[in-house]
Amino acid sequence: AATREGQVMIGADEIQEVFGHGLKLILDAGTQHNEPSTIISLVGDQVEILRQGKGDASDLLGQA
């Protein structure tokens, strides 16, 4: 879930509407219900986890 000013958004369409101007990609995994999300930066040559959500995302960085 993404938040802005305390508002929880649970769908990709809501996130696109609010944050779309600053996003290059939204991966839609369906509606999520208040589960912490992981935010990943793909800027430049580095993959960086900006916010760790539920689950292990280290495999996205090539780490196990």
Q: pLDDT, tens digit, for every residue of 20-35?
A: 777 888 888 777 666 6
pLDDT at residue 64 in the model = 43
- Split into its structural domains, the chain has a count of 1
Question: Does 1 score more than 80 pLDDT?
Answer: no
By CB atoms closer than 10 A (0-12, 13-18, 19+), residue 24 is exposed
Cβ neighbours, 10 Å, residue 27: 6
d(CA 49, CA 7): 22
Cβ neighbours, 10 Å, residue 2: 19
Tens digits of residue pLDDT in 2-61: 555 566 666 788 778 877 777 888 888 777 666 667 888 888 888 888 888 777 887 777
pTM of this structure: 0.45
In terms of residue numbers, what domain contains 40?
2-61
Cβ atoms of 35 and 41 within 8 Å: the answer is no
